Amino acid sequence: QITLKESGPTLVKPTQTLTLTCTVSGFSLSTNGVGVAWIRQPPGKALEWLALVHWDDDKRYSPSLKSRLTMTKDTSKNQVVLTMTNMDPADTATYYCAHHVSNAYYLDYWGPGILVTVSS
Amino acid sequence: SYELTQPPSVSVSPGQTSSITCSGDNLGDKYASWYQQKPGQSPVLVIYQDNKRPSGIPERFSGSNSGNTATLTISGTQAMDEADYYCQAWGISAGVFGGGTKLTVL
């Protein structure tokens, strides 16, 4: 079955760069029509779409965060890495990765999420 | 940038029908999806491609999308349906979520 799991630091300092890894199983990152998306949710607030990488390595970023985000995909390791630069306390959130169905733009499997706190 | 608007809260009595709306410019021309999120849990897909239910989602969940509004309808709402619900669509170049609606089953 399809599973995803986020990993990375749970505490980062302001101005540092955050690097999160999404490790997937049950599907290949090179399978036509699939992708992996990153979404975050500040405590008590709404979901926010961050970025998406398609099977063909096409990448799409949230316009408001595009300058701070980079995604890379390692098909051999079944991993997608998200980096976010210049972290701020306002970036404190639970970060999720999710399996994306490219033709119909929905997220059908989600990881458990990882809470990242930005504090000095 | 593209925006989706949801009412912050909806209340319903057990057994009644609840409707949650999601508004966006020409949303009917896009696919809308809906996610249910209970406290401390990851979101769960309940409707995709406007009106399709994933395997395992009860038949009481249904969806529609036309014009500028997508609607999630829960028929015979149960206490277990109390949760936050988010709509989602594809914006100009990235995905977009609505602000979420807290469904309270009184």
For residue range B53-81, what is the model confidence (pLDDT) as tens digits? 999 999 999 999 999 999 999 999 999 99
Predicted pLDDT of residue B92: 80
Section A12-26 average pLDDT: 98
Percentage of residues in chain B having pLDDT higher than 70: 100
Residues of B in contact with A43 (CB under 8 A): none
State yes or no: pLDDT of B1 exceeds 90: no
For position B54, what pLDDT does the model report? 96
pLDDT digits (tens, 9 = 90+) for A38-47: 999 999 999 9
Share of chain A above pLDDT 90, in %: 96
Please check whether residue A111 touches B, CB under 8 A: yes
pLDDT of A104 above 90: no
Condensed to tens digits (0 to 9), the pLDDT of residues A46-100 reads 999 999 999 999 999 999 999 999 999 999 999 999 999 999 999 999 999 999 9
Partners of B92 on chain A (C-beta within 8 Å) are 63
> Which pLDDT score, from 0 to 100, does residue A105 have?
87
pLDDT of A32 reads: 92
pLDDT tier, B104 (very low <50, low <70, confident <90, very high otherwise):
very high
Task: Tell me: pLDDT of B19 over 90.
Answer: yes
Question: Are B49 and A48 within 8 A, CB to CB?
Answer: no
Nearest chain B Cα to A52, which residue? B94
pLDDT at position B52? 97
From the candidates B42, B44, B51, B55, which should be mutated to test the interface with A, based on the most A CB atoms within 10 A? B42
> Between chains, do B95 and A104 touch, taking CB under 8 Å as contact?
no
Closest-CA distance of chain B to residue A111, Å = 7
DSSP string for A7-51: ES-SEE-TTPPEEEEEEEESS-TTSTTEEEEEEEE-TTS--EEEE
- Distance between CA atoms of B87 and B89, rounded to whole angstroms? 7
Question: Between residues 10 and 69 of chain A, which touch chain B (CB distance below 8 Å)?
Answer: 37, 39, 46-49, 51-52, 60-64
Separation between Cα atoms, residue B35 and residue B43, nearest integer Å? 6
Chain B residue closest to A111 (CA)? B42
CA distance A2 to A22: 13
Rounded alpha-carbon distances, angstroms, from residue A55 to A13, A79, A101, A113, B55:
33, 12, 10, 22, 24
What pLDDT does residue A78 have? Answer: 96
Residue B45 has pLDDT above 90, yes or no: yes
Confidence of residue A36 (pLDDT cuts 50, 70, 90): very high
Residues of B in contact with A101 (CB under 8 A): 48
Return d(Cα A85, Cα A77) in angstroms, integer: 24
